[in-house]
């Protein structure tokens, strides 16, 4: 481990051919982070964005507590309690959590961050938490849409809705068969989503055929009375080599 860290911190020259953006800043005094920042970067626990923050409204909190109350808590080395649902933690760089990924994520596109988790102001954009029920082949996401996601005045941008549908169905497909990529996404926008509101995004695995996973998805008001969006998605399982081909 120490040798790997030393390579990452000290020997960046040898890694340059594999990088699309530089992992190491140029060596001048103003760009070298202070020792405390380096220690924080290497050893601090990453933020789990699926946990509540002060921006979450009453409805977001109520639904989080509802599903979390029926969920297993992930505890290292301990068996789960056999509950139906499981909350899926969410970080701003999933590569870090793949085997060996913590080093790879410093080397490959080190500045890259997950699209939905890269806005610092809590509540400004995508606030969401995902729960999976593997037995029922379902995922449910509680999503609160922030003010930076405006499309039509006062309502959520269609691209932001597509992003959330891709994220929920993609996370669902990844939980079944990682790694995957979206091959096809079809969306019917049925009624606009008010900015600032909380909605439910539910996905269901319809079928698998070889490397293909077919998933359907709907976005509704939290009481289920209003259908905002319907979608279907096709994911294809890929090899890690496919990602490196670019
Ligand atoms: C844990 C963190 C989770 C975070 C969630 C975020 C999720 C975000 C997911 C994404 O947004 S991924 C980014 C958007 N997607 C892409 O950029 C994918 C670009 N396309 C590709 O890389 C390739 O076309 C793809 C991997 C989808 C398929 O290429 P392959 O060479 O691996 O497969 P191939 O072309 O041999 O097709 C395999 C099967 O899928 C079928 N297929 C492929 N593309 C299709 C398509 N577009 N429509 C229908 N079927 C399709 C294809 O016909 C074939 O069917 P059969 O096995 O029955 O012969």
List, in order, residues 6 or more apart from 236 with CB less than 8 Å away: 180, 181, 183, 211, 212, 213
The Å distance, Cα 181 to ligand 1 centre, comes to 5
Beta-carbon count within 10 A of 94 CB:
16
Question: Tokens 């946990």 map to which residue?
Answer: 51
Q: Looking at residue 185, what is its pLDDT?
A: 98
Model confidence at 188: pLDDT above 90:
yes
Could you tell me which residue, 14 or 1, shows the higher pLDDT? 1
List, in order, residues 6 or more apart from 124 with CB less than 8 Å away: 55, 146, 147, 148
Pocket of ligand 1 contains residue 166 by CB under 6 Å: yes
Which value does ipTM take for this structure? 0.98
Q: Looking at residue 239, what is its pLDDT?
A: 87
Model confidence at 38: pLDDT above 60:
no
Q: Looking at residue 136, what is its pLDDT?
A: 86
Going by CA atoms, what residue is nearest to atom 5 of ligand 1? Answer: 167
Which among 48, 183, 206, 212 is the best mutation to test ligand 1's pocket, defined by most ligand atoms within 8 Å of the CB?
183
Q: Looking at residue 208, what is its pLDDT?
A: 97
Categorize the per-residue pLDDT at 102 as very low, low, confident or very high, splitting at 50, 70 and 90. Answer: confident
Pocket of ligand 1 contains residue 221 by CB under 6 Å: no
Pocket of ligand 1 contains residue 185 by CB under 6 Å: no
Q: How far apart are CA 139 and CA 204, in angstroms?
A: 7
Per-residue b or e along 191-212, where b marks 16 or more CB atoms closer than 10 Å to that residue's CB? eebebebbbbbbbebeebeeeb
Could you tell me which residue, 124 or 82, shows the higher pLDDT? 124
Q: How far apart are CA 132 and CA 84, in angstroms?
A: 8
CB contact at 8 A, 152 and 144: no
Q: Which of 166, 188, 223, 230 is catalytic?
A: 166
Q: Looking at residue 16, what is its pLDDT?
A: 21
Which among 179, 236, 237, 244 is the best mutation to test ligand 1's pocket, defined by most ligand atoms within 8 Å of the CB?
236
**Nearest alpha carbon to residue 234 among 173, 156, 154, 146:** 173
Q: Looking at residue 131, what is its pLDDT?
A: 97
Report helix, strand or coil for 138: strand
Provide CATH 3.10.129.10 ranges for the chain: 47-245
- The pLDDT of 158-171, averaged and rounded, is 98
List, in order, residues 6 or more apart from 143 with CB less than 8 Å away: 126, 127, 128, 164, 198, 199, 200, 201, 219
Categorize the per-residue pLDDT at 60 as very low, low, confident or very high, splitting at 50, 70 and 90. Answer: very high
Q: What is the rounded average pLDDT for all residues in the chain?
A: 82
The enclosing H or E element of 174 equals: helix 158-177
pLDDT tens for each residue of 104-141:
777 778 888 999 999 989 999 999 999 999 888 999 99
Going by CA atoms, what residue is nearest to atom 50 of ligand 1? Answer: 183
pLDDT tens for each residue of 215-246:
999 999 999 999 999 999 999 999 877 877 76
Q: Looking at residue 77, what is its pLDDT?
A: 58
Q: How far apart are CA 28 and CA 6, in angstroms?
A: 19
Categorize the per-residue pLDDT at 39 as very low, low, confident or very high, splitting at 50, 70 and 90. Answer: very low
Q: Is the peptide bond before 179 cis (omega within 30 degrees of 0)?
A: yes
Task: Give a three-class secondary structure readout of 185-217.
Answer: EEEEECCCCECCCEEEEEEEEEEEECCEEEEEE
Using a 10 angstrom Cβ sphere, with 0-12 exposed, 13-18 middle and 19 or more buried, the burial of residue 149 is buried
Atom of ligand 1 nearest to the CA of 178: 1
Model confidence at 40: pLDDT above 70:
no
CB contact at 8 A, 179 and 201: no
Classify domain 47-245 at the CATH topology level: Thiol Ester Dehydrase; Chain A (3.10.129)
Categorize the per-residue pLDDT at 97 as very low, low, confident or very high, splitting at 50, 70 and 90. Answer: confident
Q: Looking at residue 240, what is its pLDDT?
A: 78
Pocket of ligand 1 contains residue 212 by CB under 6 Å: yes
């Amino acid at each position: 481990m120490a040798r790997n860290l030393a390579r990452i911190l000290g020997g960046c020259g040898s890694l340059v051919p594999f990088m699309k953006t530089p992992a190491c800043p140029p060596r001048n005094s103003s760009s070298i982070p202070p020792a405390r920042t380096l220690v924080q970067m290497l050893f601090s626990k990453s933020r789990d964005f699926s946990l509540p923050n002060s921006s979450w409204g009453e409805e977001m909190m109520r639904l989080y507590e509802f599903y979390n109350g029926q969920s297993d808590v992930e505890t290292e080395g301990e068996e789960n309690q056999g509950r139906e649902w499981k909350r899926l933690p969410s970080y701003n760089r999933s590569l870090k959590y793949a085997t060996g990924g913590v080093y790879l994520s410093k080397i490959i596109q080190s500045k890259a961050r997950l699209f939905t988790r890269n806005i610092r102001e809590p509540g400004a954009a995508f606030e969401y938490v995902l729960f999976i029920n593997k037995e029922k082949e379902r995922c449910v996401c509680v999503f609160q849409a922030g003010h930076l996601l405006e499309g039509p005045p006062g309502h959520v941008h269609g691209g932001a809705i597509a992003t959330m549908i891709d994220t929920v169905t993609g996370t669902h497909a990844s939980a079944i068969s990682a790694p995957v990529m979206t091959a096809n996404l079809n969306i019917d926008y049925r009624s606009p989503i008010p900015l600032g509101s909380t909605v439910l995004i539910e996905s269901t695995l319809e079928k698998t055929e070889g490397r293909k996973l077919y998933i359907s998805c709907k976005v509704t008001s939290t009481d289920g009375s209003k259908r905002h969006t319907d979608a279907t998605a096709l994911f294809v399982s890929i090899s890690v080599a496919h990602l490196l081909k670019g």
